[in-house]
Amino acid sequence: MAETVFHHALTILEDVCFGCTHCVKVCPTEALRVRDGKARLTANRCIDCGRCMQACPVNAIIIKQDDFSEIYKYKARVALVTSILIGQFPRHYPTRKIYSGIMEQGFSHVYEAEHGASLLIDEINQYVARHGAVKPVISSFCPAIVRLIQVRFPSLVENIMLLKAPLDLAAISFKKELMERGFAEDEIGIFYITPCAAKIAAIKSPVGEKNSPINGVINMDTLFNKVYSGFKKEHSSSCIVPEKEQLRAEEMAWSLTGGEAKYINGRCLSIDGIKNAIEFLEGIENGHISNFDFIEMRACDQSCAGGILTTSNRFLTVERLEERIVKYGQDKIEGKIFDNKTIDKHSSFIRENVKIDTIEPRSMLKLDENTEEALRKMERIRKIFSYLPGIDCGACGTPSCRSLAEDVVQGHAHTSDCIFIQTSLNVPSDQEIRAEKIWGKDRFRKLT
C-alpha cells in the first residue's frame, strides 16, 4: 500500500523561531533548512523523531495533539496508556491510584497498550521463521524507525516486519470487548497517551494500513501533569475504583530496550538511539552486518522511556518499571490475575487482523524520476560539492555542504549562500582575516 501523505505532529512556531540552525544540525534525515531566518520543514524527509524539538533552545518546535475535550464526544472514553506512563510517577503511587487519577480527568476506562505484546510474541516468531530469505527482520514497533527506513534506507523496507504494534492490537481488542458489553462502535473513543511524536504521526497516517483503530492522541506530558497535580493537592482523595487487568511480566517490559528481542528465537539484537540505529542500518545495507534473525530497533535512548513527551528521567523510569516487573512478575506463577484477560479472550479475532500491508519506500535520495536526469544531477552535485569548503558549519541554512550542493542542483538554493564563497568574491576584510584564523587560508584558496 503506497501512502499518499506523511502526517507530521511537529510544528514550527515561526514567531518564536530565530533561525539558529540547532534543529538543522541534529535532524537525522536532513529534513530542516533555515530560510528567511526561520526553520523550514521538508515534509517528505521528516520522520517525527523529535530530535529537533529537543535541540531547540527557545521551544519554537512543539508537538500538536488532539484537543482534550474531544474525549467527551464518546460515551466510552478509553485512555490507552503505555506502561511508560506508569513509570513516570514516583514509586509510592500504586498503579490503581494512577488509573483512578486518569479517570478523574474524564476517561471512563483505562487500558494498557502492552496487553497485546504477549500474543504478538508467537506471531513474531512465526513471522521470522517464515521469512528466512529476508534477514534480519526489523521490528515495526517504533514508527520513527519505520519512517527512517522508508526515507533513508529504502532498500531495507522489505526487512520491516509486517505486523501491527501492541497498541493497535490492544485498541482492537478493547473496542471489541466494549462492543460486546453493549456500546455501539461510534460510542467508543480510544485515545492513545503517547510518549513521542512519531506515534502521533503513525496514528494519523498509518503505514501499511488504511486507518488506525485509535480515535485520538493525547501527549503524555499533558496527561501526566493533569494527574500528578491532582495528587499533589492536599484535599484530593480519589474515590474512583477502576477496573484493572494486570500486565504479564513480558508485557510490562515490552516498551523498554530489550523488551521485545529477548522473546524472539534466533540471533537477535536490541538497538536504541537514532544515531545507533542509523549506524546499524548502514552496516546492514552495505553488507558489513549480517547473520541476524531479528532486530529490535527504537529511535529514542532507553526506547520509549526516553520519548520526548515523557517528563521523568528516562533512567528512573526504567528503574521503576523494572521494580514493577519484579513485584508483579511472581503473579504469573500463581496464574490468578492472568485468567480471562481481554486480549486472550479475543485472541482468534486479533490473529486474523495482526498483519499490515506492504510498506513502500519513500526515498529522500531520489533526485529525479528520469534516471538519466538523476545521473546528470548527481554529477553536478559532485562538482559543486568539490568547490565547497566541507566545513558543514550550517551558516548557509543547510545541515552540510553536501546538502547545500543538492539544494542548489534542485533549485532550492544558490552557491553564494555559502559564506566562504561570499568571502572569496570580495576584497579581503577583517571578517575574512578572522575566519582564516579559524578555518585556515587553504579553505579560501580552494574557492578562488
Predicted local distance difference test score (pLDDT) of residue 243: 74
- In 3D space, the residue among 78, 142, 81, 74 whose CA is nearest the CA of residue 302 turns out to be 142
The Cα–Cα gap between 155 and 437 comes to 44
Assign domain 10-63 one CATH number from 3.10.20.30, 3.40.50.2300, 2.30.42.10, 3.30.70.20.
3.30.70.20
What DSSP string describes 322-342?
HHHHHHHHTHHHHTSTTTT-H
pLDDT digits (tens, 9 = 90+) for 366-400: 788 888 998 999 999 999 999 898 889 888 999 99
Local structure of 297: helix, strand or coil? strand
Angle at 297 between CA 295 and CA 303, to 5 degrees: 140
Cell (9 digits) for 121: 510474541
Residue spans per domain, the chain: 10-63, 68-352, 371-445
Q: Which residues contact 441 (CB under 8 A, 6 or more apart)?
A: none
Predicted local distance difference test score (pLDDT) of residue 421: 80
Report the greatest alpha carbon distance in the chain.
83
Predicted local distance difference test score (pLDDT) of residue 436: 64
Within 48-149, strands assigned E span 61-63, 76-81, 109-112, 137-138
Distance of CA 114 to the CA centre of its chain: 17
- The mean pLDDT values, 10 residues at a time, for the chain of 448 residues are 65 92 94 91 89 94 92 96 94 90 94 90 93 89 94 94 93 93 95 94 85 93 93 64 79 92 94 96 93 96 95 95 80 47 83 90 80 91 90 90 92 86 63 61 57
Within 213-308, strands assigned E span 216-219, 268-272, 294-298
pLDDT digits (tens, 9 = 90+) for 402-447: 999 999 998 988 888 888 887 766 545 565 665 566 566 665 565 5
N-to-C CA span, the chain: 51
